Amino acid sequence: MLALLILLFLVIILIDVPPLLRDKMYRELAVFSVLMAIAVLYSLGQFYNWPLPNPVRALETVFRFQP
């Protein structure tokens, strides 16, 4: 499963990064890298059961109305 995850991320990087570098789209590359970093972190977190903050629970804390 971990190997599949790594393969998935490599495929995504191979699809998107070379055109971004070729066209000198560094701003796009920066946003892409941040998103990929979050995706890798949370994917590994799911795989190894790391206690990462759950954005959905955070959302509930902010928006759930307590009558």
Told to check if 44 binds another protein by CB under 8 A, we report no
Rounded CA-CA distance 40/61 in Å is 25
Told to check if 18 binds another protein by CB under 8 A, we report no
* Nearest distance from C-beta of residue 60 to another protein, angstroms: 6
Which residues of the shown chain bind another protein in the complex (CB under 8 A)?
Answer: 8-9, 12, 15-16, 19-20, 25, 27-29, 31-32, 35-36, 38-39, 42-43, 46, 54-56, 59-60, 63-67
